[in-house]
Every structure is written in structure tokens, then in C-alpha cells.
Amino acid sequence: MLRDAISQAIYDAMASDDSVHMFGEGASVKAHYDAPQIERDFGSRVHTLPISEDGNTNFCVGASLVGVKPIVDVISSDFMYRAMDSIANTAAKLGALREQQSTIVIRAEFLTGGPTTGQHPEALFAAIPGLRVAVPSTPRDAYGLMRTALETPGVSLIFEDRMIDDEGPWAETDLRLGEPVPFGVIRCRQQAMHGHVAILTYGIMRQRVERILKSQPWVQDPHDENNLRADLYDLRSIYPIEWKGINLALRRAARLLIVEPDIVYGGVGAEIAAQAHDMRPGVQVKRLGAPRAVIPASPELHRHLLPSDEEVISAITKWD
């Protein structure tokens, strides 16, 4: 799934570029279990570092200055807070301070069951100049975004959502890998004949919303003009964001529903809503996401923090 696709992207990058190295706490162990082909073929470029997220990221910044392309595995998204200084104050500033930009990729997973596991800091990093931030929702996009991150100078953050791999029968298994996916290009997942509502989402909520739309034939019925039809777009990267694509989506639909896996307050959706009003005055906008609450310890309760099927359906169908 996502982890397999990212491991394949790293393997392919290491096979074609000797400067790509993996770093992290238990990096060799993770390569052994997740990507044994990396350990087998490129073991000398897999480096296990001490338990020090901030120090490890700074170490990789230094390595990038001498031509190494480090992939820094911070493991859990919650540990990104420990590496905030080295990412925001050091890595993100390299492009402004040096004539030649380094290539650095920082990778972390959203896990399940809190209160300090599975937090979503992506909006915080999206606000920091010098960083690219991606949250793929399919294996194909995860592969392509990782390849782009490793082939493009600059600092890229790739967040993987463990829920996408865990949610079984309707988890997408699109493994047509091989092509880089550019940052800042939204992907239309579903387009109605006549769109009345544009739905923007990313990560696990893209997967859930797509399942909901496919289970509700009235949303897409081309034979009933009274039915509400929905277009679905996957952001894929939350910085940069493809504002041109969002503007085109709003030309088809005067209503915008933003569904995000993060806390709504101060989140990605708030920025998109503000920009949407600037681009298309009069557009109706709704936002769905998680409440500003501490993640419960139970993974099942954690899943209930996200918008339910009923909430999504109600948001699509009920407009003032």
C-alpha cells in the first residue's frame, strides 16, 4: 500500500542516484521489515541514528551540504514537533542562504490512537516558507511524490496516513507506479456531468469521501436534473496548492465542500476557504474535519474524530 509504494520509490531512486541515503532511528530495522530489497542492495546507504529527532534532522542538513540527498525518517508525525527547530529554522532556510539548494526529504506517518500518536501537524509546516508538504492518498501518488521530492532541489515533507492502509476493502490498491507526480497539482478523482458541488479533500478523507459518493447513486445520476452532483478533487500536496485548478473547479460549481483529516480550526481548509472567497466572491463554502480535541487512546475512537458518512452526506445535500 502506501508504505510499499514509498519503499519502491526510494529503491528506484537509490538505484539511479548514488547520493540518495536513508537516515533515521532504527532505519536499518525498518528497511529490513518494510523494504528488504533496500537493505539487500543498498545497505551501506541505510544509516541508523540515535534517538534524537532534532539532532538527526540537523545531521542530515549537514550531509545535504556535501551533496548527499538524505531521506530522514522521523517515524511518527508526533515526533515532527521535536524536529521543528531543525526543519523550520535550519532546513527550510537553506534555499534562501545558499546559492545552490540542497535536496532533503523528511518522512513521517500519521498513526492511530493517541493522545500523542497520529497528530496532524501538516498545516503548521505548510505555513513555513521553504517547505513543500504532501499528504498522498494512493500508492501511485505516494510513489510519484516521493520520486519528485528526491529529484527536485529543496526540502519536502511526505506524510503517510496509516489509516489508509488499515481500512480494508475499499482501500485503493492502485500500484501503477513509475512516474513522478508534481507537487501543487490537484487530481480530479470523480467528475459529474454537471457539477453542483466541488469537494476538495486529501489523505484518508479523500478515500472515505470517494467511497461515500460511489455508494450514493443520487449524487451522480445524470438522468435526474434535480439531483445534486458532486465533483471530487484530491489536493495531494497542501503546499504548494494548485489555486488555478481550484478556480477552475469553482467555475463548474458555486458550492465548495472542504473535507480534511486535520483539526478544522486554523487548518488547510481555512486557507482554501479564504482563497476561494477571494477568487470567486459569492461562492458557498463548508468545511468538515476533526474537532480541536486531544486524540483518544483507542484507535477506534480516534477514527470517530473524523467526519462520519452521515456528516459528509448532509454537508453535500443541505445548503442554505
Query: 272 and 146 share a domain?
Result: no
Number of domains in the chain: 2
The whole-number pLDDT of residue 79 equals 94
Q: Is the pLDDT of residue 28 over 90?
A: no
What is the arithmetic mean of pLDDT over 27-39?
84
- Using left for φ > 0, alpha for ψ between -120 and 50, and beta otherwise, residue 121 falls in alpha
Domain range holding 144?
A: 2-170
The whole-number pLDDT of residue 150 equals 97
More confident residue, 225 or 57: 57
Contact 195, 172 (CB under 8 A): no
More confident residue, 229 or 39: 39
**What would the DSSP string read from start to end of the chain?**
-HHHHHHHHHHHHHHH-TTEEEEEETHHHHHHHH-HHHHHHHGGGEEEE-S-HHHHHHHHHHHHTTT-EEEEEEEEGGGGGTTHHIIIIIGGGHHHH-SS--EEEEEEEE-SS-SSSS---HHHHHTSTTEEEE---SHHHHHHHHHHHHHSSEEEEEEEEHHHHHSGGGS-------S---TT--EEEE--SS-SEEEEE-THHHHHHHHHHHH-GGGT-TT-TTS--EEEEE--EEES--HHHHHHHHHH-SEEEEEEEEESTTSHHHHHHHHHHHHSTT-EEEEEEE-S-PPPSSHHHHHHTSPPHHHHHHHHH---
pTM above 0.75, yes or no: yes
pLDDT tens-digit readout, 122-149? 999 999 999 999 999 998 999 999 999 9
Cα–Cα distance for residue pair 190/41, rounded to 1 Å = 40
What is the arithmetic mean of pLDDT over 176-184?
82
The whole-number pLDDT of residue 221 equals 58
Residue 159 grid cell: 506524510
Cα–Cα distance for residue pair 287/272, rounded to 1 Å = 10
Query: 159 and 212 share a domain?
Result: no
Q: Is the pLDDT of residue 170 over 50?
A: no
Q: Is the pLDDT of residue 32 over 70?
A: yes
Q: What percent of the chain has pLDDT over 90?
A: 68
The whole-number pLDDT of residue 306 equals 92
Query: 256 and 196 share a domain?
Result: yes
CATH of the domain at 263: 3.40.50.920
Query: 96 and 209 share a domain?
Result: no
Q: 145, 170, 195: which is the final residue of a domain?
A: 170
Q: How far is CA 209 from CA 171, 189, 205, 214, 283, in A?
A: 12, 10, 6, 9, 21
More confident residue, 282 or 219: 282
Q: 142, 170, 198: which is the final residue of a domain?
A: 170
Mean pLDDT, the chain, rounded, equals: 89
Least confident among 85-89, 176-180, 201-205:
176-180
HSE at residue 261, side-chain half, CA atoms within 13 A, is 31
The whole-number pLDDT of residue 171 equals 46
Is 176 domain-assigned?
Answer: no
Query: 224 and 79 share a domain?
Result: no
The whole-number pLDDT of residue 195 equals 65
* The residue type at 122: E
Query: 7 and 149 share a domain?
Result: yes
Least confident among 69-73, 231-235, 315-319:
315-319
Q: 140, 170, 200: which is the final residue of a domain?
A: 170
Query: 148 and 202 share a domain?
Result: no
Q: Is the pLDDT of residue 9 over 60?
A: yes
The whole-number pLDDT of residue 113 equals 83
pLDDT tens-digit readout, 235-274? 999 999 999 999 999 998 889 999 999 999 999 999 999 9
CATH of the domain at 162: 3.40.50.970
Q: How far is CA 233 from CA 25, 87, 181, 242, in A?
A: 35, 29, 15, 11
Is 309 domain-assigned?
Answer: yes
Q: How far is CA 169 from CA 56, 158, 177, 199, 234, in A?
A: 38, 25, 21, 23, 20
The whole-number pLDDT of residue 214 equals 83
